[in-house]
Structure 1
Amino acid sequence: MATSLKIDEELKGRIQHLADLRHRSAHWIMCEAIKEYVVREEARESFKQEAVRAWESYKANGRHLTLEEADAWLAQLEAGKDAELPECHE
């Protein structure tokens, strides 16, 4: 799929400078930048959708962990312990 992209001269110069430093083509630099952007934005959207699902689940059943419960569990994981996720409750 051929796609054209219009960018201003200042950005075009920056891309070319980076391409020269990396011994790559400007096309390669732009493709890499687009790939990284898409991966990052897909991950951000996935995180957002997971949060929406969690909120909907909480509204439907009221099950949750308190901040203290979650914090204690995370502290155990951070300390390298193999801690089980606490049971959610109402």
Structure 2
Amino acid sequence: MSDNDSRKNLRMPEEDEVFAVVMDMLGANRVKVRCMDGVERTARIPGKMQKRIWIREDDVVLVEPWDWQDEKADITWRYEKQDADQLREEGHIQE
């Protein structure tokens, strides 16, 4: 098997979403994320993800910044470790 066989079509950010890396767990369903647009935001884990998708530090997520408060965002997607590694290899995420 070649490396191309293990490549997956991953969910990419839509026009209002941005890649982010979880930096710190704040509690109360909130996390501190470093977005790829250079802004650190407080992101909210929505109710539909709570207890279904576990988010930890250093996870790669997609966030949707709020229109009315740019320093806050909602998490819309969490990538598995293999998917995050693929995004890093393809240059979508800079550490």
TM over 0.5: no
Higher strand fraction (1 or 2): 2
TM-score scaled by structure 2? 0.19
The structure with the largest alpha-carbon Rg is 1
